[in-house]
Amino acid sequence: MFTFRFKDASIWRYMMASVEKIIDEGVFVATEEGLSLRALDTSHVVMVDLLYPAEAFTEYSVKPGGVEIGVSMGALAKILRRARKEDELSLTLEDGNIVVEYHGRGVRRFKIPQISLVHEKLPEPRISFTVKAKMLASTFKESINTLKPVADSVTFKAFEDKRLLLLGRGDVASAEVELSLEKQTLLEMDVDSPDESTCSIEYLADIVSAAWAADVVAVQYSQDAPVRVDMEYPGGGRLTFYVSPRVE
């Protein structure tokens, strides 16, 4: 048994729009603490780590011991694309199906089958980050969209004066976006070492969809280590992506 209601359905719409681009199938784990998902893409380049606490839902009920919900991310995302901003979202398990309802102008109801998956319990990556930057979600989205037309890769490069450079490189052209505390394009910036890390823009572009509903985005990395991108949502929700560095 499991059910939840969430006030703003569009938040789940945008989160799953990014998740479905990274993983085809996954297992949501519902416990008394909240709803979570942790999975790797098939190439093992990106890890998705989602956590939404129980108190963020207007209704949240799960049987003792919790429940695991296997789902096709493409099927779920397709239904969530029907969400409107004024809709409240509810999700219930019923006879082997996931029942999704939108409560707004009337009630719209969809069903998708649960799928049987082996739940691989992945450990959280233990990385000591030397650079931590926090920005508005709109700033992150605009930065990646600026670089995407010309770049194959993005290099994050930090400076001790609290600037963060995003350098996009392609076969023909390059582009860069500079963010800083001084120009108020960064909310916070901590630099233990002026390191840099490069990753494929393909994966960062996939992540951008989730930023549409986020409040704040935090970017963390170390020299030639995975880049961690945290999306922060109302009610304490968090969607994290670990993107492996690109080897030139």
Residue 125 lies in a domain: no
| Cα separation, 50 vs 55, whole angstroms | 15
> Which residue, chain included where needed, has tokens 């930065």?
143
Name the nearest CA neighbour of 145 among 217, 214, 208.
Answer: 208
Can you give the residue range of the structural domain that contains 227? 131-243
Pair (177, 92) in one structural domain: no
Which spans in the chain are helix H?
A: 9-22, 73-80, 137-147, 201-211
Instruction: Specify the CATH number for the domain of residue 68.
Output: 3.10.150.10
Confidence (pLDDT) at 38: 96
Distances (CA, A) of 181 to 33, 142, 229: 36, 17, 19
Outline where DSSP puts E strands in 25-159. Answer: 25-31, 34-40, 46-53, 59-62, 67-72, 88-94, 97-104, 106-113, 131-136, 153-159
The pTM assigned to this predicted structure is: 0.94
- Ranges of residues in the chain with a pLDDT under 50 are none
Q: Are residues 84 and 163 in the same domain?
A: no
What pLDDT was estimated at residue 248? 61
| 106 and 135 assigned to the same domain | no
79 and 178 belong to one structural domain:
no
Quick one: 103 and 136 in the same domain? no
Please count the structural domains in the chain.
2
Q: How far apart are CA 129 and CA 191, in angstroms?
A: 9
Residue 65 placed within a domain? yes
Residue where the block lists tokens 């919900």: 69
Q: Are residues 100 and 173 in the same domain?
A: no
Among 241, 232, 225, 240, smallest CA distance to 131 is for: 225
